[in-house]
């Protein structure tokens, strides 16, 4: 039963991360463009499309997790996105750039150091751990998806096994 509770908490926590991150970016699209440009990884022609698409992609992931549809698939996509985000933060750090990641709004040139990048990477590794948990244990209470749904009740087999 504790696995179900941890899975529910992981699902709702990761949903919250994506919803807050996406909403903060949607609220300030010009700043999101600045944040994406600051990474200096994309050609200028792709900066605006990525900056305009990423927040809605994050919100979609958050909504799918919140309502519990395709939890394993959504957690897998979340894990891939988090690995990409970790990779670009490592890239910025390795190239000696000094930027705010813009992960939760803001972004662009900033006075940061290695400890700031380390905290961002560790935070994202924590989010990655939530996604990994949901890949392994996707079934949670209060999920709408048939393959994601589980209950909190104790079944007769669990009672006999205890």
Which percentage of the chain shows pLDDT scores above 90? 74
* Contacts for 98 with CB less than 8 Å, ≥ 6 apart: 109, 110, 111, 112, 113
- Distance CA(59)–CA(53), nearest Å, equals 10
- Tens of pLDDT, residue by residue over 13-44, are 999 999 999 999 999 999 999 999 999 999 99
Question: Would you say the pTM of this structure is higher than 0.95?
Answer: no
Three-class SS state of 40: coil
């Amino acid at each position: 039963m504790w696995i179900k509770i941890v899975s529910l908490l992981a699902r709702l926590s990761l949903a919250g991360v994506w919803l807050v991150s996406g909403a903060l970016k949607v609220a300030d699209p010009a700043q999101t463009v600045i944040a994406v440009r600051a990474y200096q990884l994309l050609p200028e022609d792709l900066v605006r499309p990525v900056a305009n698409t990423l927040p809605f992609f994050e919100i979609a992931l958050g909504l799918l997790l919140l309502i519990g549809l395709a939890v394993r698939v959504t957690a897998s996509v979340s894990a891939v996105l988090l690995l990409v985000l970790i990779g670009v933060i490592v890239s910025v750090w390795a190239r000696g750039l000094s930027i705010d990641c813009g992960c939760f709004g803001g972004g662009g040139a900033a006075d940061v150091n290695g400890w700031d990048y380390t905290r961002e990477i560790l935070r994202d590794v924590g989010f990655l751990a939530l996604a990994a948990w949901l890949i392994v244990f996707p079934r949670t209470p209060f999920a709408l998806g048939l393959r994601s749904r589980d209950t909190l009740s104790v079944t007769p087999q669990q009672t006999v096994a205890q």
